[in-house]
Amino acid sequence: MRTLTQELGFDLHWQMPNGERFALVGLLRELQPTLSLEIGTYQGGSLQVLARFSEAVISVDIDPGVPARLANKFPNVEFRSGDSKRLLPDLVRELNEQKRAVDFVLIDGDHSAAGVRRDIEVLLELQPQRQMVFILHDSWGISPFVHQVELDFIPGIYHYETYDTAEARSMWGGFACAVLLPEKRTGGLVIRESQIGLYQAVKRDSRHRFDGIDRLKRRMLRVLRRIVKRV
């Protein structure tokens, strides 16, 4: 059976659940970006929406096979292949030098905490020419041009069973949203996390329940070794 998003003409495999799909379609239909930037093309799921509602898109993925698979489907998309760690600093410099306005950014590439942080930090170097909307997963760095942040703009989901690339009992998805403006923020930045209770309740029953425990174990081992040396 075709899903509702497939009926809207979005046929490519899309690694996002319904809430995120409709949020992305609604946002982009409203924003009508001149230029959008995507980190994490995969099989073109989110790109098919970005390409439909933006005049132009730059999509970055570490997988060199992406352009061969997707280029003929998207005449308004420029594909860049390589690690975002390596590509993004030059891309940001290029866009700033050209004073090219980026209206919409989707960060969905390297999902390690360090990778997400690095992508965000580099992309926050983009000089806003007008309002920019960032949609992303995971943690956040601070720029004076960031005016609003909501980590649970669209809350994430829980895969009880294995699904696509997700393991059973894992937590994925969710959109955080940040709005940047050309003028600097006055005053502190409030980072909203409106669904923290939902996140914590689901985490208790997930495979992430003991994340962080290894660090604790290593510290205890160090302490124990010191005690053993002394006796």
Ligand X SMILES: C[S@@+](CC[C@H](N)C(=O)[O-])C[C@H]1O[C@@H](n2cnc3c(N)ncnc32)[C@H](O)[C@@H]1O
Does the protein bind ligand X through residue 17 (CB under 6 A)?
no
3-state helix, strand, coil in the chain (%, to 5): 40, 20, 40
CB of 154: closest distance to ligand X in angstroms?
Answer: 13
Which of 23, 27, 21 has its CA nearest to residue 7? 21
Does the protein bind ligand X through residue 90 (CB under 6 A)?
no
Q: Which residue from 60, 91, 120, 177 is in contact with ligand X, where contact means CB under 6 A?
A: 60
Write the single-letter amino acid at 211.
D
Does the protein bind ligand X through residue 138 (CB under 6 A)?
no
The distance from CA 222 to its chain's CA centroid, rounded to whole angstroms, is 36
Does the protein bind ligand X through residue 81 (CB under 6 A)?
no
Q: Which residue from 33, 45, 128, 174 is in contact with ligand X, where contact means CB under 6 A?
A: 45
Cβ-based neighbours of 215, under 8 Å, separated by 6 or more: none
* 3-class SS of residue 45: helix
Does the protein bind ligand X through residue 62 (CB under 6 A)?
yes
**Tokens 């942040």 — which residue?**
149
* 3-class SS of residue 107: strand
CB of 129: closest distance to ligand X in angstroms?
Answer: 25
Pair of tokens at residue 180: 């940047």
Q: How far is CA 159 from CA 44, 171, 172, 206, in A?
A: 22, 6, 8, 9
On whether the CB atoms of residues 123 and 103 are closer than 8 A, the answer is no
**Tokens 């590509």 — which residue?**
87
Does the protein bind ligand X through residue 115 (CB under 6 A)?
yes
Q: Which residue from 84, 143, 195, 206 is in contact with ligand X, where contact means CB under 6 A?
A: 84
Strands 146-154 and 77-81, by their bridges, are unpaired
Does the protein bind ligand X through residue 109 (CB under 6 A)?
yes
CB of 95: closest distance to ligand X in angstroms?
Answer: 17
Instruction: Choose one: 59-67, 124-132, 178-186, 204-212; the region binding ligand X (CB under 6 A).
Output: 59-67
Instruction: Choose one: 28-36, 103-111, 151-159, 198-206; the region binding ligand X (CB under 6 A).
Output: 103-111
Does the protein bind ligand X through residue 63 (CB under 6 A)?
yes
CB of 42: closest distance to ligand X in angstroms?
Answer: 3
Taking the least distance from each CB to ligand X, the nearer of 123 and 145 is 123
Does the protein bind ligand X through residue 120 (CB under 6 A)?
no
* 3-class SS of residue 186: coil
Taking the least distance from each CB to ligand X, the nearer of 90 and 205 is 90
By CB under 6 A, name the binding residues for ligand X.
14-16, 39-42, 45-46, 60-63, 83-85, 108-110, 115
